[in-house]
Amino acid sequence: MTPEETAAQRVTAVLAERDAVQANLLELDGSFAKQVLEGAALTGQTRERWASASAALATLWETFLAYSAVVDRIAALGTGNRRPARKDLPELSALLTEGCVQLPGAQVPLARRDLAASGRPPVTLAAAVGAMRRAFAEVTEVTSAVEAVWAAVAVPLDAATEELARVRPLVDGLGADVEAEFRAADDALRAQRAAANADPLALWRPSSAGPGPGGSTDTVAADRLREQVAALAGRITDVDRLRQQARSRIDGLAAAVAAARAARRDAVAARQDAATRISALPPLPPEITEPSLASLGGLAAGGQWSRLAAELDRCEAELASSTAQTADLRAAAAGAIDKRDELRGLLRAYKAKAARLGAAEDHDLTARHDKAHGLLWTAPCDLAAAEAAVAAYQRAILGGGGRR
């Protein structure tokens, strides 16, 4: 390649690099994080780091303007429909390889200057690009971290905001306690969002690999608030549903109590009947407590929905427990009769087996059979003793059958 062709190739590369630098700077300047940070009332770590980053960005733009002016001169000498003229090659070569960009910044101290030198010597294009690259990395490290924090905390905070907006129309009239909880949650949400906007880097956890891109956002507080708001919204929804269905739920409780009392009477009758035939049955369940329907109605009339919900939940839980005890008693009575009948059938089956084995006249087996038979056909029957006697008879037959 001729010197002119080599110079033209280098000029093309310099122009392409300048275009890339300019495009990235414009994208950074128009980024959402940069625009917000410039106008925000920042605090804490974010204020400190953005002050440094914004100063670096201002220096970066000053450097770019000086650098771009040199590149414009290079373009004038080395582009167009012609190759660089031979007479321009010395100037073009000097611009491409020697110090030609005046960087902004502090002057060289007078004591360290040469008499004929300027306060700050110019640098090469490559050195100018290196300085801009370092400043660009410092600024984008801050803006990228801020954008990452805002994106991460927006998920739980936006979810909490939507939940509060959904139940906001339901809160009025649900009681002072619910209204106070709602206001507290709303205040906490606003406070967390304001804190994330003012000092997002307080939530940023840099990568353990050291400075540079990479890291994570601490969303523990935001996630906890979202869970608390979700629980509160569910409770508000439930209380509002109770407000709409209070009368029917109170009436339903009264009907359920009446049904439970009828079931208890049947269970008591079944137990008494079984007690004439089986001993050691479970004790009677407690009486079904009659809820104070008038008190429940008064809470509904007074709009005390949270207290009404708690009282209804308590009454329904007590009723469910009593109903379960009643069902257990009835099942125990029926099960005892069934167990006795099962043992009677088993005793008859093993007596027939003893006859097939030729042991019908065995005095020991006969005594064991008679003992079990007497227990099973005595009222009330001792099931535990009868079951043990039948088992002893069974073992005697199975053990003696092998010997015979």
Q: For 141-187, write each residue's pLDDT tens digit.
A: 999 999 999 999 999 999 999 999 999 999 988 888 889 999 999 99
39 pLDDT above the threshold of 50: yes
Question: Which residue is it, tokens 């300085």?
Answer: 131
Question: Which residue is it, tokens 């490290």?
Answer: 141
- Distance, in Å, from the CA atom of 278 to the CA atom of 195, rounded to the nearest integer, reads 73
pLDDT for the residue numbered 155: 95
Amino acid occupying residue 246: A
Whole-prediction pTM: 0.62
The confidence band for 250, taking pLDDT boundaries of 50, 70 and 90, is: confident
Q: In degrees to the nearest 10, what's the CA dihedral of 124, 130, 135, 136?
A: 120
**Dihedral of CA 114/116/119/121: which sign?**
negative
Alpha carbons within 13 A on the beta-carbon side of 53: 23
DSSP lists the bridge partners of residue 101 as 123
Eight-class DSSP state of 217:
E
42 pLDDT above the threshold of 60: yes
Contact 177, 24 (CB under 8 A): no
The confidence band for 280, taking pLDDT boundaries of 50, 70 and 90, is: confident
pLDDT for the residue numbered 402: 42
Contact 393, 376 (CB under 8 A): no
pLDDT for the residue numbered 392: 93
- Distance, in Å, from the CA atom of 305 to the CA atom of 309, rounded to the nearest integer, reads 6
For the chain, how many helices (H) and strands (E)? 11, 2
Amino acid occupying residue 82: R
Lowest mean pLDDT among 1-5, 47-51, 230-234, 335-339: 1-5
Mean pLDDT score of the chain, rounded to an integer? 87
Strands 204-206 and 215-217 come out as: antiparallel
- Distance, in Å, from the CA atom of 265 to the CA atom of 278, rounded to the nearest integer, reads 19
Model confidence pLDDT, tens digit, residues 118-140: 557 888 999 999 999 999 999 99
DSSP lists the bridge partners of residue 215 as 206
